[in-house]
Structure 1
Amino acid sequence: MKALILSESLAAARARLAAALADAGRPASAARLLAVSKTKPAAMIREVWHLGQRDFGENYVQEALDKQAELADLDGVVWHFIGPLQSNKTRDVAEHFAWVHSVDREKIARRLNDQRPEGLPPLEVCLQVNISDEASKSGVSLAELPALAEAVLAMPHLRLRGLMAIPAPAEGRDAQREPFARLREALEALRERFPEAPLDTLSMGMTADLEAAVLEGATLVRLGTAIFGERTAPA
């Protein structure tokens, strides 16, 4: 995708988010775009950075580390890890990312906490919920969510910010909203249970269901295809 087209796609994504927030009666600042740059070259990230984008989401640890090294001269980039996280990758994530959206079990959280370097601020964490109860998807169940949240809140090098989910695909706005509503309700329940926690984040909504997610309170919307074009397989 050439720079001019990339600038147009980013502008269109921003306009789409702004329209969705307006339709939902929410302030323009209530949600922001997370540009999902997995499988995309560092040059595209650099171009989008020059257009004012700062939050970028990556799924593959080594690919992300290579891009971070290549883009080390850019100021203000906020790296979000959004993919499934294996135990043998936690150190790299703890050392090189600001956010992790895919914490779904205490073992992973504890490793991230223990491996977060002392000189860095706490790692911003979202708990991934398997909101559609899909066997093929990662995520903690709603029943197990409070216990995991309590464990993470006790870890000094993590800051629990909220929840993330990737619902099963659904046709129609009402069907798309239903799992997002469940995730919002789960976050509200955690706020009541842990009133001192900074639980302000709902990482939900992608290119196909952005509007439904915003209607249910999304604060971080993960857009890849809408910004960067069709995905390519990682090398």
Structure 2
Amino acid sequence: MTIAENLDKILSEIPSSVRLVAVTKKKPVTAIKEAYHYGIRDFAESRVQEAILKQEELQDHKDICWHFIGHIQTNKAKKILENFHWIHSVDSLKLAEHLDKLAAKTSIYPHVCLQVKLLPDPNKYGWEVMEFWQDLPKLEPLKHLKIEGLMTILPLGLSENECLETFEKTKELATKINEKSSLQLKELSMGMSNDYLLAVEKGATMIRLGSIIFGARN
């Protein structure tokens, strides 16, 4: 199937209110252009250098909204701030504070999702719930970040019910944060190629899809 046919199928399955973020890591610029011509404007990368090379090639596509979804090393934070509109993978207080200081200096105020881990997973970054509540009072004063939502990536090998339950708990966590803090989290970045329909069922506002649009990565 072509990229356009894949997108036809996906968009027929989800509400128009859900933002489809096309994950293009290890995919050529031609694939991005194909999705762009279809009408997609949100694209995500997880490696800074690869993303910047693509962005340079796509300079005339000025209405693309770039999302960063990879783990962030402190020394790459400034480049990410300068080249991405959204950062989904703010996964620690230390990183959030560092980005806030950089944002204050550069006057670039990124849209941010805080990455949370609802289930233990040694292969994933993010706040565990108890740790998050401890750090929340220090996140609230970060005025140079537009903290807009939560992001989560599920551990591999969960059953459908476990996926649904974890997405539900992520949504509940966002609701509790909104009730108990000055943060107002409207976005839930959750759901990937293998579980996006379950995520949408439980309130995802952004889904991050790669292989189901572009085919398996090499």
Name the TM-score, length of structure 2 as normaliser.
Answer: 0.93
Does 2:88 match 1:91?
no
Paired position in structure 2 for 1:190 = 177
- CA deviation profile, 1:179-225 (whole Å, cap 9, x unmatched): 1111111101101012x433101100111111211111100011101
Question: In 2, distance between residues paired with 1:165 and 1:56?
Answer: 18
Question: In 2, distance between residues paired with 1:75 and 1:96?
Answer: 12
- CA deviation profile, 1:22-56 (whole Å, cap 9, x unmatched): xxxxxx32x11111111111121122111110111
CA shift for structure 1 position 172: 4.2
Question: In 2, distance between residues paired with 1:126 and 1:147?
Answer: 18
Paired position in structure 2 for 1:24 = none
Paired position in structure 2 for 1:156 = 143
Q: Which runs of 5+ in 1 are unaligned?
A: 19-27
Question: In 1, distance between residues paired with 2:155 and 2:195?
Answer: 11
Paired position in structure 1 for 2:13 = 16
Does 2:39 match 1:52?
yes
Choose which of 71, 95, 103 in structure 2 pairs with 1:108.
95
Question: In 1, distance between residues paired with 2:162 and 2:183?
Answer: 31
CA shift for structure 1 position 126: 0.7
- CA deviation profile, 1:75-131 (whole Å, cap 9, x unmatched): 2111110011111110101111111111111221122222236453x2111111122
Asked if the contact 1:131–1:166 (Cα under 8 Å) also holds between the matched residues in 2, the reply is no
Paired position in structure 1 for 2:4 = 7
Choose which of 62, 66, 69 in structure 1 pairs with 2:56.
69
Question: In 1, distance between residues paired with 2:138 and 2:87?
Answer: 16
Name the TM-score, length of structure 1 as normaliser.
Answer: 0.86
Paired position in structure 1 for 2:156 = 169
> Given residue 78 of structure 1, which amino acid in structure 2 is its aligned partner?
C
Question: In 1, distance between residues paired with 2:133 and 2:146?
Answer: 15
Question: In 2, distance between residues paired with 1:171 and 1:179?
Answer: 10
Question: In 1, distance between residues paired with 2:206 and 2:123?
Answer: 24
Does 2:192 match 1:206?
yes
What is the SS of the residue equivalent to 1:154? coil
Paired position in structure 2 for 1:231 = 217
Q: Which runs of 5+ in 2 are unaligned?
A: none
- Give the share of equivalent positions with the same residue, in percent: 38
Paired position in structure 2 for 1:178 = 165
CA shift for structure 1 position 137: 1.2
CA RMSD of aligned residues (A): 1.7
Question: In 1, distance between residues paired with 2:178 and 2:102?
Answer: 27
Question: In 1, distance between residues paired with 2:194 and 2:150?
Answer: 19
> Given residue 121 of structure 2, which amino acid in structure 1 is its aligned partner?
E
Question: In 2, distance between residues paired with 1:12 and 1:149?
Answer: 39
Judged with a 3 Å threshold, the aligned counterparts in structure 2 of structure 1 residues 201 and 74 are, in CA distance, closer, same or farther, namely same
Paired position in structure 1 for 2:23 = 36
What is the SS of the residue equivalent to 1:129? strand
CA shift for structure 1 position 151: 2.6
* Number of residue pairs aligned between Structure 1 and Structure 2: 217
Does 2:203 match 1:217?
yes
> Given residue 42 of structure 1, which amino acid in structure 2 is its aligned partner?
V
Paired position in structure 2 for 1:22 = none
Asked if the contact 1:93–1:112 (Cα under 8 Å) also holds between the matched residues in 2, the reply is no
CA shift for structure 1 position 6: 1.4
Judged with a 3 Å threshold, the aligned counterparts in structure 2 of structure 1 residues 64 and 184 are, in CA distance, closer, same or farther, namely same
